[in-house]
Amino acid sequence: EEIVVEDVAATYDEDLKGIDIALFSAGGTLSMEQAPRFAAAGAIVVDNSSAWRNDPEVPLVVSEVNPEQVKNPPKGIIA
């Protein structure tokens, strides 16, 4: 199976359609700018930065503790 990795700065909003999951681990500033774009296009965003950790609408998920929080995150972003 082919996996495509692209530079998010070079993408247009229409390029984001059809993405199911977007993994972010590039720092808080980039995540704050780009994660909402991906979520708005329908992707579930999994973010490893500090950007969303304190947002009450973004679940902080630990798979062994609260895996059910992955389903239907309000902003489409999981920390």
Q: pTM for the full model?
A: 0.84
Number of domains in the chain: 1
Average pLDDT rounded to a whole number, residues 48-69 = 94
Provide the pLDDT for residue 26: 85
Write the DSSP assignment of 26-38 as a string of letters: S-HHHHHHHHHHH
Q: Report the SS3 class of residue 77.
A: strand
Provide the pLDDT for residue 65: 95
pLDDT at residue 6 greater than cutoff 90: no
Nearest to 41 by CA among 63, 64, 21, 62: 21
We report the CATH number of the domain holding residue 50 as 3.40.50.720
pLDDT at residue 46 greater than cutoff 90: yes
Cβ pair 51, 67 in contact under 8 A: no
The answer to whether residue 21 sits within a structural domain is yes
In terms of residue numbers, what domain contains 74?
17-78
Confidence of residue 22 (pLDDT cuts 50, 70, 90): very high
